Amino acid sequence: MHIEAVELVRFQLPLVTPFRTSFGVQDGRDVVLVRVEADGTEGWGENVAGIEPGYSHEFVAASQLVLRDHLVPRLLSAKDVTAAEVGTVLAGVSGWPMAKCAVEAAVLDAELRSADLSLRTYRSGCSTPSTRPSPPSTVIGATGTSASS
């Protein structure tokens, strides 16, 4: 895809109910979205970094900086790139997996929109959507035990 423009969109997202973890209670999220314009379509990716570097070294303000100053310029200088190639294009920047994932997701979203494919169809490897449900997954309980569904 020919990457024409990249926009970083940062906003506050209030949560419907508070999110409680061992790090505390969160009433909202500070979000950075990556919007890519390529080949006449757009794609979106979300940077999932938290507001503070508690769970990971990545946090929103630093992720936005590394996106703006390092990752986006590399993507734009590559010009023509597929989602599968984004990792290689961004490899010169050490770390920042959440920020890099947001860029790759935005490029993939643009690719899929351009091809009129859903993510489900793309992931299934079929040209037509499967009517069969996904296989069961493993769920980890609050007590730390594992239960297969």
Domain boundaries along the sequence of the chain: 3-116
pLDDT reading at 104 higher than 80: yes
Model confidence, pTM: 0.80
Alpha-carbon span 15 to 148, nearest angstrom: 29
pLDDT reading at 144 higher than 50: no
- Report pLDDT for 135: 55
H/E run at residue 139: strand 138-140
CATH of segment(s) 3-116: 3.30.390.10
Instruction: Report CA 106 to chain centroid distance, whole Å.
Output: 7
Alpha-carbon span 86 to 89, nearest angstrom: 5
Contacts of 59 (CB under 8 A, 6+ apart): 49, 50, 51, 52, 53
Strand order in the sheet with 3-21: 3-21, 24-38, 41-47
pLDDT reading at 130 higher than 60: no
Q: Looking at residues 111-133, what average pLDDT do you find? A: 75
Nearest one of 126, 110, 113 to 37, comparing CA atoms: 110
